[in-house]
Amino acid sequence: MDLPLYGLMAEFENPDHILHAAKTAYAAGYRRMDAYSPLPIHGLAEAVGFRKTYLPLVVLIGGLTGCFVGFAFQYWVSVVNYPVIIGGKPMNSWPSFIPVTFECTVLFAALSAVFGMLALNGLPHPYHPVFNVDRFERASRDRFFLCIEARDPKFNRDDTRKFLEMEEFHACEVTEVMV
Amino acid sequence: MSDEHKPVPASEGENPFIGGEHTYATVTDKIAAIALARRTSKGWVLGFLFSFALMQLLLVAVGYLLYKGVGIWGINAPVYWGWAIINFVWWIGIGHAGTLISAILLLVRQEWRTSINRFAEAMTLFAVSCAGLYPLLHVGRQWFGYWLLPLPNTMRIWPQFRSPLIWDVFAVSTYATVSLLFWFVGLIPDLATLRDRAKVKFAKTMYGIFAMGWRGSAKHWYRYETAYLLLAGLATPLVVSVHTVVSFDFAVGIVPGWHTTIFPPYFVAGAIYSGFAMVLTLTIPIRAIYGLQDFITDRHLDAMAKVMLATGLVVAYGYMMEIFMAWYGGHPYDMYMVLNRMRGPYAPGYWALIACNIVIPQLLWSSRVRANAVFLWVLSLVINVGMWLERFIIVVTSLHRDFLPSSWGMYYPTKWDVMTFLGSIGLFLTLLFLFVRLLPVISIAEMRGMVSSPTDKEGGHH
């Protein structure tokens, strides 16, 4: 009991139950919480208070950067640094530069999507308190977990436990998560 | 066994693309068990050893090539593009089905892709690895292969960006990178599953490292799904661009038989055609060996067979247009090239290609053929051969009769060509065997979305 408490975690068998529990918890004023599931559940992120992700913007900026860098580099090479007349074409024979520009756009955008997603998600993140719960292994198999964190201003060890154990949630078990 | 006459309405809540009684847990356990099995089956060991032995041919052939030079291959004036380019195009085409299945079918919400996308993506990755070898080996002085890249150098020269060959470098390397990213992102939740279920400490650690601490947080899933969808959206035009650029390698040149505008669409269709054939070649035995008939059902095979039939017809249209345009264009060299394909020294190859790619696949119109896994498997091999022959005919017949009869010649492969090709098949199979043993062959996280949730069982509905 001397270990610092990370939060209280309720386990569910069913995606609908966790969705209901998360929405009720948010309505009850809890803000610092997260849900864990073996598959994406639509509406669950919104239910725990997630509003929006900037990832699409990151990818757009990545793609535009790739497009600009790809074309500008070819222009610089073909017009400024190493001008050679090929097939009687003008130095800035831009139609021939389109394929490489396109590939650079896709490459930069795809790299931004993957590394942007990992960065915004804070991954890699090898240690996390939720892994201390033995039953959490099933979060990657068939169970759903809702964790209300101790840093939530409304968090209270006993009240929050009572809240999560409410009959209507059908939680199978409520566990303390230690840091 | 074809049930296309009595389609199951989606409103019934039953998923026709998954057989048997499955829950989140059984789907997870069944697929994870293949990768986590403590004992390696004898069949796997034999298959792996065979593939590994075949791969040694590549090692020997490449070793001798590095020592002696590209003269050991059958290439010589006027045919400088031999098996290396044929195999390059063949392999990269095979890869395209993987991206089509994972990206395009995702965007158009074809749910049946879920059972085969992981496997098809792995196939893409390994096929692109094999493809990438050939241009590198073909450059002659392989140790200068990095000259293909726009790197600053002491000679103060740059690659020629007006050439399709440099477009190809960018297209293929971007394709390889994006395919790897797509595959890896798809794997992250499954790696976490394997990490949580592995009993062996070493396996647990390794899966854990690559899972990067994935814990299935709802917020993470949200960004993850966003990223996955964006990647699919990016991969879709990419895959079309890659084989288009490959076709530019031919079409931008003025060689009769290459210089046509039909090449990009017909190359892309051909790529998907051969890729689906390869997916069938591989999935039919794998589903039988690992008992995955519940996940890869006969309806999946039926759907893939239909895609093959459709793309095969596009390819047939391409062949017809080539002949038509040669006649309609009234260009003597083009017309000669077409007749030479049909009646010249490589005519048996041409007619074999027509038989393999156009005539025999018409059997796919029959739903009984599409329902017969063994027959479908044989047919997929026929199409693989046909698509290889197509590239042979395109490369060799156009080159071997140069503009001047004094420069005419014949092309014959040498044993080193054959060894390199067989060796690359060995490399492909070796990678596939390792993949099947170590990673989940079907996306577990996505399959969970295909089974009904516990509420549905109790009679409720989403």
A37 and A60 in a single domain? The answer is no
Q: Mean pLDDT lowest for which of B8-12, B220-224, B269-273?
A: B8-12
Q: Say whether pLDDT at A13 is over 70.
A: yes
Backbone torsion region of residue B25, taken as left when φ is above 0, otherwise alpha when ψ lies between -120 and 50, otherwise beta: alpha
What is the total count of domains within chain B?
Answer: 1
Residues from chain B that touch A114, judged by Cβ atoms under 8 A, are 181, 184-185, 227, 231
- Which residue among B213, B445, B454 places its CB closest to the CB of A123? B213
> Is B458 within the bounds of a domain?
no
Number of domains, chain A: 2
- Between B46 and B106, name the one with better pLDDT: B46
pLDDT exceeds cutoff 60 at B457 = no
Q: What is the mean pLDDT of residues B285-302?
A: 86
Identify whether residues A62 and A104 lie together within a single domain. yes
Mean pLDDT over the full length of chain B: 88
Q: What is the pLDDT of residue B454?
A: 60
Is residue B328 pLDDT above 50, yes or no?
yes
Please state the rounded mean pLDDT for residues B86-97: 92
Q: Are residues A67 and A102 in the same domain?
A: yes
Where does the pLDDT of residue B435 fall: very low under 50, low under 70, confident under 90, or very high at 90 and above? very high
> Distance of alpha carbon B323 from its chain centroid, rounded?
28
In this structure, the answer to whether residues A91 and A135 fall within a common structural domain is no
**Which of B29, B182, B445 minimises the CB distance to A39?**
B445
Q: Average pLDDT for residues B204-220, to the nearest whole number? A: 91
Average of per-residue pLDDT across A71-82: 94
Q: Which of B88, B119, B95 is nearest to B177 (CA)?
A: B95
Cβ within 8 Å, pair B219-A141: no
Residues B295-304: what's their mean pLDDT?
88
pLDDT score of B164 more than 80: yes
* B245: containing domain: 20-453
Identify the pLDDT of residue B19. Answer: 73
pLDDT at A3 over 70: no
Assigned domain for B11 exists: no
For residues A37 and B63, what is the distance between their CA atoms, to the nearest angstrom?
A: 50
Query: Distance from A115 to chain B by nearest Cα, in Å?
Result: 9
Q: How far apart are alpha carbons B344 and B369 in whole angstroms?
A: 35
pLDDT at B298 over 60: yes
Burial grade of A176 (CB within 10 A; 0-12, 13-18, 19 or more) = middle
B449 contacts in chain A (CB < 8 Å): 39-40
A59 and A29 within one domain: no
The yes-or-no verdict on residue A72 having pLDDT over 50 is yes
Q: Which of B174, B215, B221 lies nearest to residue A40, judging by beta carbons?
A: B221
Q: How confident is the model at residue A159 (pLDDT cuts 50, 70, 90)?
A: confident
Instruction: Give me the half-sphere count of Cα atoms (radius 13 Å) on the Cβ side of residue B286.
Output: 25
Better pLDDT: B212 or B113: B212
For residue B16, what pLDDT band results from cuts at 50, 70 and 90?
Answer: low
Q: pLDDT tier at B452 (50, 70, 90 boundaries)?
A: low
Residues A62 and A106 in one domain: yes
Question: Is A109 in contact with B234 (Cβ distance < 8 A)?
Answer: yes
Instruction: Provide the shortest C-alpha distance from residue B304 to chain A (in Å).
Output: 26
Does B413 map to a domain? Answer: yes
Greater confidence (A164 vs A120) lies with A120
Q: Which candidate, B127, B121, B123, places its Cα nearest to that of B235?
A: B121
Min mean pLDDT across A127-141, B17-31, B46-60 is at B17-31
pLDDT for position B453:
62
Q: Are residues A110 and A132 in the same domain?
A: no
Mean per-residue pLDDT for A26-40? 89
Return the percentage of chain B with pLDDT > 70, whole number. Answer: 94
Q: Does residue B9 fall inside a structural domain? A: no
Mean pLDDT of the B312-340 span:
92
Range A129-147 average pLDDT? 88
Whether the per-residue pLDDT at B458 is higher than 50: the answer is no
- Kindly state the DSSP code that residue B38 receives in the 8-state scheme: S
Contacts of A82 in chain B (CB under 8 A): 156-158
Does residue B194 lie within any of the structural domains? yes
pLDDT in tens, B349-361: 999 999 999 999 9
B459: pLDDT strictly greater than 50: no
Contact call for A106 and B178, based on CB within 8 A: yes
Last residue of a domain, one of A120, A144, A160: A120
Report the distance separating Cα A168 and Cα B320, nearest Å.
67
To which residue do tokens 């052939």 refer?
A: B61
Q: Give the DSSP per-residue string, A68-114.
A: HHHHHHHHIIIIIIS----TT--TT-HHHHHHHHHHHHHHHHHHHHH
User: Which of A84, A117, A128 lies at the smallest CB-CB distance from B215?
Assistant: A128
Which residue of A20, A59, A73, A103 to mutate against B (max B Cβ within 10 Å)?
Answer: A103
The predicted model gives B233-237 an average pLDDT of 92
Which of A91, A120, A149 is where one domain is finished?
Answer: A120
Q: Which residues contact B384 (CB under 8 A, 6 or more apart)?
A: B94, B274, B277, B278, B281
Q: Using CB atoms, which residue from B162, B193, B230 is nearest to A113?
A: B230
Same-domain check for residues A108 and A137: no
Q: Is the pLDDT of residue A123 over 90?
A: no
Say whether B25 and A142 touch across the interface (CB within 8 A). Answer: yes
Top mean-pLDDT range of A12-21, A37-46, A90-99, B149-158: A90-99
In percent, the amount of chain B with pLDDT more than 90 equals: 61
A35 is in which domain, residue-wise?
A: 5-52+126-178
Closest CA to A131 of B204, B12, B274: B204
Same domain, A42 and A64: no
Chain A / chain B CB contacts < 8 angstroms: 196
Residues A114 and A65 in one domain: yes
Is the pLDDT at B456 greater than 60? The verdict is: no
Cis peptide bond prior to B348, omega within 30° of 0: no
Which CATH number characterizes residue B42's domain? 1.20.1630.10
Q: Is the per-residue pLDDT at B59 higher than 90?
A: yes
Query: Is there a domain that residue B438 lies in?
Result: yes
Indicate whether B14 pLDDT > 60: no
Express the helix, strand and coil content of chain A in percent, nearest 5 each: 50, 15, 35
pLDDT tops 80 at residue B10: no
Domain shared by A132 and A164, yes or no: yes
pLDDT value for B374: 93
Average pLDDT for chain A: 89
Q: Which of A101, A120, A139 is the last residue of a domain?
A: A120
Task: Look up residue B55 and give its amino acid.
Answer: M
- DSSP for B398-437 reads HHHS-SSGGG-------HHHHHHHHHHHHHHHHHHHHHHH
Chain B residues whose CB is inside 8 A of the A139 CB are 196, 215-216
pLDDT above 60 (res A2): no
- Is there a single domain that holds both residue A100 and residue A116? yes
In a domain, B13, yes or no: no
pLDDT exceeds cutoff 90 at B184: yes
